[in-house]
Every structure is written in C-alpha cells, then in structure tokens.
Amino acid sequence: MKKLFIVSLAFIFVTAFVLILIISGCKMQPAAETYPPLTIIEGLPSSETLPAVEPSIETGPEGKSSANFEIIYITKLSGIAWFEIVRTGLEQCARDYSFKATVIGPAKVDAAEQVKLVEEAISDTGIDAIVISPVALEEIDQVLARAISSKKLTFGHEGAGLKNITYDIEAVSEQEFGEHIMKSAIKYTGGNGSYICSVGFLNSISQNRWADAEIVFQQESAPDLKNVLGYSKGTDRFEDTEDKKAAYNKILEFIKAYPDLNLIVGNSMTTGIAAGQAIEKKGLAGKFFFVGTGLPVTIGDYIRKGVVQEGFFWDPYLVGYAIGYIALNTWLENPIEQGDAVLRPDGTVIEGYESLEITDDESGGKIISGKGQISINKDNIEEWYAKFKGYGWLQE
C-alpha cells in the first residue's frame, strides 16, 4: 500500500497525525490491550462545544443564499473517531449558517474507494463543494480535476500536495506547527544536549515538513542542542514506520548509541507511545524528554506520570467548523482574505482561527491555515480528557 497518508493526529493528526489514521497528515492503531477502540461517536453534546446561536442565512451575488449551498466531506475512512468529531464541527457550522453538509468515508483505506465517492459527488447536481482528506495524491488530484470541470468547488483537508483544489484548509501551518513543537522541546532541555527527530515515513509529506521546521528552528534558536543524526536532509530524521514495536527498539538503540541523547522529537504519534515505554523502562523520567504529536489516548498516561512532557495536535471539532465556513464563503463569492477570522453568525470568533493565513503550497495549490495548534502537558491533561469525553470519544 502506498505510504502517502498525509497528515495526522495524525492528531493528526492526526496527522499524520492521529492515532486513528492521520494528524499531517499516517495510519496506525493503538494496542487493543492498552487503549480504547476508535469507534463511531454516538453524538456530540452541544453544551460541551459551542453555545447555540440563531441560524443565519447568508447571501452572495446573483441571489446566492447559504440555504442553497451543499457540501460533502470525504474522509480517509468511515467510522474513525477523529473524523467523526470533524463531522460534528462541520455540521454545527451548517446548522448555524443554514446550509447542508454530508460527511462520508470509504469502508477501507483505499484511494480507489475515495475516487468512487468523489465521482458520485460529481454526478450529484445538488452538491456545490467537495472537501477531501486524501489517501493518495495522484489519484485524488485526477478526479478533483474532473470535479472542477463539472463546476464543483474543491477543497482539501490534511491535503498537503493537492493541486486541483481551491484551498487546502488546515488548523495550523506546517511550519508553525513544527516550530511550536521544537520551541517546547527546547524549553524542557534548556537548549542543551542532543536529540533525534522522527517521522512515520520519509514520504509522509506533512510530518516531514514539520520535521524540516523543527530542525531549522533548533539550529536558529538553540545551537547548543545537537541533532545526533546530523543536518543532511533525509538522514537528519528517522522513520518509525508507524510501528510501535519497531519505534521502541529504535529508540532503545539510539539511547545506547548516544550517551548525551536527552530528547526525542516525534512527528509520528507512534513515537510518543514508544518513547514513553522506553523512557519508563530505562528509568530516565525527568532526565530524558519527549515532545511531539500526541493525544490523551496515546500519551496521556505517560504525561500524568511525568515520563513524557508534551503532545501536540489540533481540535478536530473546530477545524470542521472552519472547513464549513471557508467553503461556504468561497461559494458565496465572499473570498477569504489574509487575516480574516472564522466567525459564527453572532460575530464571535472561533478560537484558533482569529487570523487566517493564506500561503502557496509547494505543489502549486493554496493553503488556508489558522493558528489552532494545541498541546497537552501535566497542567492541562485532565482538561483534555474531559474535552474529548464531551466530544463523545473517551480517551481512557
């Protein structure tokens, strides 16, 4: 299978970054004996998310009305908890602005299945916009080109590298996400010692962009902190292959080979789990640090015990709301501009999306990103266990 999963948590996260499939894009499953299963969410209590507001009907030129807008979001896999929370955020935006939203996903992680869903959306004359979190770039880009020819708006989410889209919509830019991770890592080490940096695979686009940003930030901000793998692009990071056992064994080898090693920066969520196990086994808690992508379900127990320090992700509910808002306004021909905010009908701003950034992707596409990065540490881990419980996804 192609390792072109783009994150995560790959929060993704998922992606990459989520344990579930992401997240920057990153497929892995938690050990069944350790973590709860990732299941479809039964429902999202509104009291746990955003307070209710009066629905609003927005209008654009030529009589366009939000009441006539319909969007479909195609996830990487049906029934995954992370994407179910994204769905509830998108659906809340649809209720607030009186448009129609549908979220579907393939029964298995397969590009051909996603292509089929896009083709069905193209043939549905009621659908105005297609959003997709792609499993593989080339196949999805080809079918999105056909969607554009059929006068559909197209968007990506966790879609770094897509070309045939209006925007790739992200919670946070890849550069900023990586910089935040390394900034935190430097804080725990005092800027001294040495580190290793992980990705799931060397062709995981988002994770490698996070790693690029981390390594550059370290060189500029903490020159006394050294990367034991050097600074040649590609060999300056290691693959954990999103395999917990393989990651664990690699980390033990690194600890043995590099006596000055005191930090792991993990861009694959597998690394956080493996690092926690290795640090605990070696009795290095408080002397050896982990900072990287992670959710309460993956590293929360290790954070509670002081074995690992901090995990980064973004709120899937809020990014779902942002997807709906940006797609609607694009269709209404109210273009999103640099510095705009994601708003609810009453004018309140969605946290983390107060000032949107529009940038050019290396692929030639455009990215709209917020500043929605979130981290869990010993000071707020219980808050995020409760938050995800409110979202309907128990993390313990």
pLDDT higher at 24 or 12: 12
In the chain, what are the domains? 174-314 (3.40.50.2300)
- Return the pLDDT at 57: 67
- Residue 294 clears pLDDT 60, i.e. is over it: yes
**Per-residue confidence at 54, pLDDT binned at 50, 70, 90?**
low
For residue range 248-268, list pLDDT tens digits in order. Answer: 999 999 999 999 999 999 999
pTM of the model: 0.87
- Return the pLDDT at 1: 36
For residue range 300-347, list pLDDT tens digits in order. Answer: 999 999 999 999 999 999 999 999 999 999 999 999 999 999 999 999
For residue range 337-378, list pLDDT tens digits in order. Answer: 999 999 999 999 999 999 999 999 988 899 999 999 999 999
Q: For 3-17, 152-166, 176-190, which range has the lowest pLDDT when averaged over its residues?
A: 3-17
- Return the pLDDT at 53: 59
232 class by beta-carbon count within 10 Å (0-12 exposed, 13-18 middle, 19+ buried): exposed
Mean pLDDT of the chain: 88
- Return the pLDDT at 61: 73
Q: What average pLDDT score do residues 143-165 get? A: 97
Q: What average pLDDT score do residues 210-218 get? A: 99
